[in-house]
Structure 1
Amino acid sequence: MDTMNDFANRPMPPLPATKVSVPRHTTAWLGVQTLVIAVFSAIIALIADGIGDYGAERQSQGLLSESSSLMVSDSASYCFALIAISLISITLIEVAFRKYVNYLQYALIGCALGLFYLMLLALAEFVPFWAAYGIVTVITAGLITLFVKGITANVKAAGLTAGILVVEYAVILILIYIGSLALLIGSILLFVIIALAMYFTLRMRQTADGELIIK
């Protein structure tokens, strides 16, 4: 009888703790992410601008042609837009595919995009500008695409990244060569990009736990 009472009075084992899923992709996170991307893009753009100025110095030393120096400088002037659009695209891919990209990985992608201009300057000393631009574009876009594929383990996400980068670099090359029409075409393209950003924000929804998704 005492044994039965002891068994009845024995404390129940604690129930296993329920793991609560904390949403990562929230509206607050998106706001902070956008601010961080803007600041980081501005910093890399300043460095790229310095690379453009260094191109003029290389030209004065007879190592770079005048036309290539001007084109390197012109391409560097689009650095902020290129990096900001690229990193925001990665953010949208992160939300759409429900993957996690940490800030170190964002920084590495941004640095690769910034290093583009230094490699472009170095290669333009040996080959025509258009050839240097094409080679460095393939190298940079390929590296970032493989990196995104490794992060997300998703071929579609990597393909979207590659497509966005190739289109961006192609547009910038066209803007460099069209000269006087660059402002008009660039303004129209920025308007289109803002319209696309509005479209994707309209497709964003919040789940019951506050997680952002793109439908």
Structure 2
Amino acid sequence: MDALLAAIGRLLASPGFKFCLICGLILLLGIPLLIVWGLTSEREQRAAEVRRTVAQEWGDSQYIDGPLLVVPYTMRRVTGEGDKRIEEIVERRAIFLPKSLAITGDTSTKTLHRSIYDVAVYSSVLNFTGAFSAPEIAEATSEALEVRWRDAILAVAVRDVSGLKDAASLIINNSDKLDFEPSIGIPRMMGGGIHVRLADVSGLFDGAAGANGHAGGIKPFSFKFALTLNGSSELKFAPLAQETTVAIKSDWRDPSFTGGFLPTERHISADGFTAEWQVPHLARSVPQAWSLNDHEFERMLPYAFGVRFMVPVDFYQVISRALKYATMFLGTAFMAVFLLELRSRRQVHPVQYLFVGLTMVFFYVLLLSLAEHIGFLKAYIAASLATGGLLSAYVARVQNSMSKGLVMGGVFLGIYGLLYLILQLEDYALLAGAIAGFVILATVMFATLKVDWSGAASKAITASPAQP
């Protein structure tokens, strides 16, 4: 019995058992790490809610789909079968896209501060010029009975019409001027926008019968108008014309070009950016005319393009990426303390290892809370110095050795420096993390080659930790 108890005592005092216990502690610390991860997600959602609130007050992300020429017509619809067939005359609308469209815009941006959060918003003046060819109803449908050309409207869809900050007028053929009216001008059609009725435009309508057999028609015409628009985060356009060109100038220094097409030319500097797009209609799978159904008004949306006004550092995502490497760096710190313990006569109690781990977990709490107030870089430096300095002093006191405390200070400096480097690499973060993990594992393996893991040697570590 005494031999069995002695064997159990040697096992509990062996470096191998201590190593397994440390691994168990690392796994146990995954619980508070998950709590911190949830806290980060909660704060990120709170920031998103604040941005949505500011967007509702200032103007949401904007998407401009227009101008579109909308012409109502009637068609015969047959329902039922056999003797119960019913014929009825229903109204539909044909959509015609412009022949050419050029958009020039100048946007001024600023960052609004709501509580502790930053939201990028912009004010823009957008100038639209272009032309429509004479529309042919046969291009949109072959089932038209009567086409009401004089009830045609020119519509501009705007995602958030509350962002419009000035009245807008349409100029036809450089002569007729008409004021835009609210709504998209189409009954039962969801979506915001503005429209103009073309009935009063002089010389626009052709009274003679067209080749398609429908009386009247609309002559080719040019147009121009301007929109003063507020928005936030994003500004996008639909490539409507046979040749669509967009030129945007802004004072924002961190643009992200997004959507179906990238700029053909761009220039980004400390004073802002300029970007130009040229999109032919062959680059999109949408015809120049079609018959409108209830769910087809935004069929250009998949081809929309534009610019996103990015806040330069989204530290919530950076902190979430840092948490993915937490286990590796916890293991590195524990192994450093363990190696120092093996080379010392003073043992480190498992509770003291737990304190080291909890302090490293708290690093992320400090980083998150400070970053919301002073920015990510300053927060990272402060959290690193606080936790690294505390743990170095703690190890020095536990081991009763200033030199071992300085060694741990160097280890934590390396850990936090390596983590920051990995976070900055972004595209190469996984590669850098994999290489770092491999090097750390190799270092621990060769540093422990001479360790008597069973504790059977005469210099085995005793079970009771020495008091400082």
Q: TM-score range by the shorter chain?
A: 0.7 to 0.9
1:167 is matched with which residue: 414, 435, 438?
414
Matched, 1:189 2:436: yes
Q: Hey, what's the Cα distance between the residues in 2 that align with 1:71 and 1:147?
A: 29
2:374 corresponds in structure 1 to 127
CA drift at 1:33: 2.3
Matched, 1:43 2:31: yes
CA drift at 1:207: 6.6
CA drift at 1:72: 1.6
- 3-state SS of 1:98 partner: coil
Higher alpha-carbon deviation: 64-73 or 159-168: 64-73
Matched, 1:208 2:457: yes
> Counterpart of 2:427 in structure 1: which amino acid?
S
Higher helix share: 1
CA drift at 1:175: 0.6
Q: Hey, what's the Cα distance between the residues in 2 that align with 1:102 and 1:164?
A: 20
Aligned residues: 192
Higher alpha-carbon deviation: 128-137 or 90-99: 90-99
Matched, 1:179 2:426: yes
Higher strand share: 2
Residues 60-101 of structure 1: per-residue CA shift (max 9 Å, x gap): 254345612111212222211121221122111111122221
Sort the Cα spacing of 1:61 and 1:153 in 2 relative to 1 into closer, same or farther, 3 A. Answer: farther
5+ unaligned residues in a row in structure 1: which ranges?
1-21
Higher alpha-carbon deviation: 202-211 or 118-127: 202-211
- 3-state SS of 2:45 partner: helix
Contact 1:55 1:64 (8 Å CA) reproduced: no
Matched, 1:154 2:401: yes
> Counterpart of 1:70 in structure 2: which amino acid?
Q
Q: Which runs of 4+ in 1 moved over 6 A?
A: none
> Counterpart of 2:338 in structure 1: which amino acid?
T
- 3-state SS of 2:458 partner: coil
Q: Hey, what's the Cα distance between the residues in 2 that align with 1:208 and 1:191?
A: 30
Q: Hey, what's the Cα distance between the residues in 2 that align with 1:68 and 1:86?
A: 24
Calculate percent identity across the aligned residue pairs. 23
The structure with higher relative contact order (CA 8 Å, sep 6+) is: 1
TM-score normalised to the size of structure 1? 0.79
Matched, 1:89 2:336: yes
Matched, 1:59 2:308: no
Sort the Cα spacing of 1:140 and 1:27 in 2 relative to 1 into closer, same or farther, 3 A. Answer: closer
TM-score normalised to the size of structure 2? 0.38
Sort the Cα spacing of 1:143 and 1:124 in 2 relative to 1 into closer, same or farther, 3 A. Answer: same
Residues 163-186 of structure 1: per-residue CA shift (max 9 Å, x gap): 111111111111111100011111
Sort the Cα spacing of 1:87 and 1:75 in 2 relative to 1 into closer, same or farther, 3 A. Answer: same
- 3-state SS of 1:202 partner: coil
> Counterpart of 1:121 in structure 2: which amino acid?
L
Sort the Cα spacing of 1:58 and 1:154 in 2 relative to 1 into closer, same or farther, 3 A. Answer: farther
